[in-house]
Amino acid sequence: MSRLNQHFEAARGLVAARYPGLAGSRLFVTCPQIDKARKGGNLRYFMHVGHFPQTICAHADTEHLPSQNLRGLFLHEFGHLMVGPKGTEADANMAVFEAFGIRILYDKNAVQYIEGVS
C-alpha cells in the first residue's frame, strides 16, 4: 500500500469512528484540476474535496511529503467533509480540533501538518 493510502486510511479510521457517514470516503489520486493548479505554480496545492461526493482528491506529489504533512492534509480535508461545502478553512481545522483534539498547523510553505505522527 502506498504511503498516501496508509495515511488516508489512518485518517479515515479516526474520522469514521465519530462520523460513521464518512466511513465510505474515497481517495482519488489523479485529479487533473490539482495537477493543473500545480503546473500553474500553486505548489502548496496538494488536495481538495468537493470534486466528487465524499472523496478527497490528492496529487501524486503528496506521496513524497513528510508523514506529519500527509496526515495533517488528510485530516484538514476530512474536516471539510465534516463541516460541509459552506465551511471555511478555519472551520475545517476547528472541526478536527473539536472532534479529536488534534490541532492542524501550517509549515513554512503554508502546508498543513500535525505533530506526533511518525
Written in H, E and C, the secondary structure of 32-100 is HHHHHHHHCCCCCCCEEECCCCCEEEECHHHHHCCHHHHHHHHHHHHHHHHHCCCCCHHHHHHHHHHHH
Residue closer to Zn ion (CB basis): 33 or 42: 33
DSSP helix/strand/coil, 118 = coil
Residue closer to Zn ion (CB basis): 57 or 65: 57
* Distance from C-alpha of 64 to C-alpha of 98, rounded to nearest angstrom: 29
The separation between CA 56 and the C-alpha centre of its own chain, rounded to angstroms, equals 7
Give residues in contact with Zn ion (CB under 5 A).
31, 33, 51, 57, 89
The nearest distance, CB 81 to Zn ion, in angstroms, is 11
The nearest distance, CB 64 to Zn ion, in angstroms, is 19
Residue closer to Zn ion (CB basis): 36 or 51: 51
The nearest distance, CB 76 to Zn ion, in angstroms, is 6
The nearest distance, CB 3 to Zn ion, in angstroms, is 19
Residue closer to Zn ion (CB basis): 41 or 85: 85
